[in-house]
Structure formats: C-alpha cells, structure tokens
Amino acid sequence: MEAQTVVNTGFLEKPSMNRENARLGFCGAVFIMLKSALGAGLLNFPWAFSRAGGVHAAVTVEMFSLIFLVSGLVILGYSSSISGQSTYQAVVGHICGPAIGKLCELCFVFNVFMICVAFLVILADQLKKLSISIHGLITGSTGNEMPYHWYTDQSFTLFLVCLFVILPLSIPKEFWIQKYTSALGTVAATYLTVAIVIRYYTRTVPEGHLMGFWASIFSVIPTICFGFQCHECSVAIYSSLENKKLSNWVIISLFSMLICLVIYTLTGIYGYLTFGRNVAADVLMSYSGDDVLMIIARLLFGVSIITIYPIALLLGRLVIQDPLLRHRETYETCIRVALTAVWILITLLIALFVPDISKVISIIGGISAFFIFVFPG
C-alpha cells in the first residue's frame, strides 16, 4: 500500500544498475518491501472481510491474489534486469513504448494523489477519536461523544495539521525525516494486529453478526490491491540489490508477501470476528475512545501518516514538476511551493467530503490493479 512512499532517500534519485550502487542485502530488501506494503490499508481489512462474505471467502481471494502479486514482482525484477532501468515508469516506458510509459506516469500520479487523500481521511478519523479520548481524560467522562466546539471539529484540526505540520514537511526537495521514521509504518501495522487479536480474546461484548454474502466476494480485491501494493518501488529495490539473481529476487518477493499475508489476514479475521458486519471501514473507529491499546495505535498511525504523506506528495510532484522545469529552472522554488500547496489543498478538500476510507480505497484499488496486474503483463 505504501509502495509510493518508499524506502530510502537514495531510491528517489533513480539509482543506476551498476554494482557500485548495489548495496542492499536480503534482509534490507525484505524490510523495505514490508515497509512499503504495510500501512494504512490494514485498517480496512476487517471491513473488507465482512463485505467478502466472511473469513473463508476473503482468505480464498487473498491466496488467489497472492499468486498474481508475487508473479508481478518477479516480472518487474526480470524486466528491470533486461532493460537496465531503475524505476517502474522507466521500465514500462522502455519495454512498452513511450505512449504506455506516459500512461503509466499518469496512473502513478493519480494513484499517489488518491493515496494522499486516503491518508488524510484516516488522519481525520484518528483525530476525531483522539479528541474524544482527550476530552474524556480532562472531564472524566466515559462516553464516545463530546460536546461540539468549532476548535475540536475534526475538519478544523485536520486543516491545522496540514497547514503547520504537513505543508512545512512537504516543501523541501528531499524528505530528510524519512531516515528517522522509516520503520514507523511497519511498527504501527504490527502493533495494530497484535492489539486487535488481544481485544478479540478480552472482549466483554458478544461478537457482531457474522453472516456474509458470497455475491460480494470480489469486493475485497480493491483492499487487497491497496494493501499489498509495493510494485512501484519494487524496481528501485531490485536495482539496489547486491545479488540480482532472479532466484534471490523471487525468494525476497515471496517471503515479503507471505509476511504481509499473515499480518493482513490476522487483522482481517480478528477484526471481523470481533465486530462482524458492524465493523467500521476504518477498524480503529469501531473501538471505544478510552481504549488505551487503541489510543496508542491511533497515535502510531497518526504520526506515521503525517511523516509518510510528504513522501507520497514528493514522488507525485516530481513527475509533474520535471516537464515544467525543462525550460524554467530559475522558477524551481516557486513551482515546487505552488505545486505542494495546491496538492495539499485539493487532497484536504476531497478528504473532508469523503464519508469513510472505503470509498477512497475502492478507487485506489482499481488504479493499483494496473500496477499489479496490467503493466507487468
């Protein structure tokens, strides 16, 4: 899911395929793949399981999709090796021609843009619940609601976060803070999975209605595409490997996807079994505002999203900015700041009117399918 928000600042610099820049080992590659795939999509998996007709149906679709997920990664690694290109778009453009390459760039920008919208929708949800938690801590109340005040409205707080935190982090050419927060998304995802399993076994209320509808089995596919998506960064990861043997890349791809499968499946199963068909599209919204385990999860995801959003914006901005700067290098700073401000403003406005994360994921999942199933083919 966080494929566009990779990795290591070196990957934003289009590394070459020569051995001097190939310093990534097996464990490092697996960790980066996990960091790229594990993220905000995890919050939607219990809801997707409920829509897919239950545990058996959803897991069946997951296992079937895993074949294509791993196959796509292997194909991209092989294509990178024969083309000598080190970015996803460059590989597609080199092998499929400039027209398909431009289509790939457009899909890439739109995909990154919608991922930014998804991040803000999730951040707004967490701000709402955290406001309730803080209100309860101050007043001693235990309810899941609080009196309305304009300064506690999630739209206002989200605007402040965008203005004073996300915007300053997004303006620089390079995202220096990434080196300090590279593992945060993986930590947040792993913590959430453990917390959901614990809450299932310690719950004091009966589980929700579990009857599913097999007719909706394929509704889980957009969530799977969004969650497991790490294909855009896979070419950059492959090009930075010390050992570029295809067999090594196959093992890295398979091992990474299996770990993701375990984390996503456990979250989907236990989140669904806890709330049944009443589970929210963002599973954290189903838990009480005074649940300490989930307050920590909200804080982890909130900080993770705040630090990841600028990376996604940077990658999208680079694709848009490059053609504009070919003949106007002197205006680089103005163009960069303007693009950043407009990007944040538009994603914020869209996020404020999106009812829940499932609406955004249904769109992102469709675009992600191009990077997972179409372009590798």
Per-residue pLDDT, 255: 94
- Whether the pLDDT of residue 1 is over 60: the answer is no
| 291 falls within a domain | no
Question: Quick check: 127 and 348 in contact, CB under 8 A?
Answer: no
Q: How far apart are CA 324 and CA 327, in angstroms?
A: 7
Q: Who wins on pLDDT, 104 or 218?
A: 104
CATH at residue 60 = 1.20.1740.10
202: left (phi over 0), alpha (psi -120 to 50) or beta: alpha
| 144 falls within a domain | no
Structure tokens at 290: 């005074």
Query: Number of H helices and number of E strands within the chain?
Result: 15, 0
Q: At what angle do helices 98-139 and 88-96 cross, to 10 degrees?
A: 160
Q: Who wins on pLDDT, 9 or 333?
A: 333
Residue 162 banded pLDDT, cuts 50, 70, 90: very high
Q: At what angle do helices 357-369 and 221-228 cross, to 10 degrees?
A: 70
- Segment 100-123 shows an average pLDDT of 90
Sequence-distant (6+) residues with CB within 8 A of 26 are 243, 248, 251, 252
Residue 270 banded pLDDT, cuts 50, 70, 90: very high
pLDDT tens-digit map of 23-59: 778 888 888 888 778 877 889 999 989 888 788 888 8
Residue 140 banded pLDDT, cuts 50, 70, 90: low
Question: Quick check: 182 and 9 in contact, CB under 8 A?
Answer: no
Residue 4 banded pLDDT, cuts 50, 70, 90: very low
Distance between first and last Cα of the chain? 20
| 350 falls within a domain | yes
Tell me what the pLDDT averaged over the chain comes to.
82
pLDDT tens-digit map of 307-350: 888 888 988 888 888 777 776 667 788 989 999 999 999 999 99
Per-residue pLDDT, 164: 94
- Whether the pLDDT of residue 130 is over 70: the answer is yes
Share above pLDDT 90 across residues of the chain, in percent, rounded to a whole number = 27
Per-residue pLDDT, 191: 92
pTM of the model: 0.82
| 236 falls within a domain | yes
Consecutive H or E run containing 75: helix 55-83
If we measure between CA atoms, which residue out of 83, 8, 17 comes closest to residue 238? Answer: 17
| 210 falls within a domain | yes
Number of domains observed in the structure of the chain: 1
| 36 falls within a domain | yes
Residue 206 banded pLDDT, cuts 50, 70, 90: low
Please classify residue 364 by burial: count the beta carbons closer than 10 Å to its beta carbon, then call 0-12 exposed, 13-18 middle and 19+ buried: buried
Per-residue pLDDT, 148: 66
Establish how many alpha carbons lie within 13 A of residue 325's alpha carbon, considering only the half-sphere containing its beta carbon. 15
Q: How far apart are CA 248 and CA 240, in angstroms?
A: 13
Domain region containing 322: 3-127+151-285+298-374
Give the type of residue at 281.
Answer: A
| 315 falls within a domain | yes
Most confident of 15-29, 113-127, 180-194: 113-127
| 292 falls within a domain | no
pLDDT tens-digit map of 56-101: 888 888 898 889 889 999 999 999 999 888 888 888 888 989 898 8
Q: What angle (nearest 5°) sits at the alpha carbon of residue 86, between those of residues 223 and 178?
A: 65
Per-residue pLDDT, 146: 63
| 3-state secondary structure (DSSP) of residue 24 | strand
Per-residue pLDDT, 232: 78
| 3-state secondary structure (DSSP) of residue 241 | strand
Per-residue pLDDT, 351: 93
